[in-house]
Amino acid sequence: MLHTFSTQKWGEYFPDLTQQCAINNLEDGNILYFPSLSFALSPEEQQFLSPDFADPHAKNISYQANCHKLWGFQHLSDTQHTQLKAMLDRFCHSSFDLIKNLLPHYAHQLTIARTSYRPVQISGRKTSYRKDDKRLHVDAFPSAPNQGKRILRVFCNINPNGEDRIWRIGEPFLNVANRFIPQIHKPIPGSAALLRLLKITKSYRTLYDHYMLQMHNLMKADEEYQKAAIQQEIRFPPGSTWIVQTDDVSHAAMQGQYLLEQTFYLPVKAMRDESKSPLCILEKILNQKLV
Q: What is the average per-residue pLDDT within 50-66? A: 94
- pTM, rounded to two decimals: 0.96
Q: Residue 126: which pLDDT band, with cuts at 50, 70 and 90?
A: confident
pLDDT in tens, 157-194: 999 999 999 999 999 999 999 999 999 999 999 999 99
Tell me which fold the domain 2-286 belongs to.
Jelly Rolls (2.60.120)
Q: What is the pLDDT of residues 12-47, one digit of tens each?
A: 999 999 999 999 999 999 999 999 999 999 999 999
Mean pLDDT of 119-143: 91
Given a contact cutoff of 8 angstroms between Cβ atoms, the answer to whether 165 and 118 are in contact is: no
d(CA 231, CA 189): 37
The domain locations on the chain are 2-286
CA 278 and chain centroid, separation: 15
Buried b (16+ CB within 10 A) or exposed e, 151-173: bbbbbbbbbeeebbbbbbbbeeb
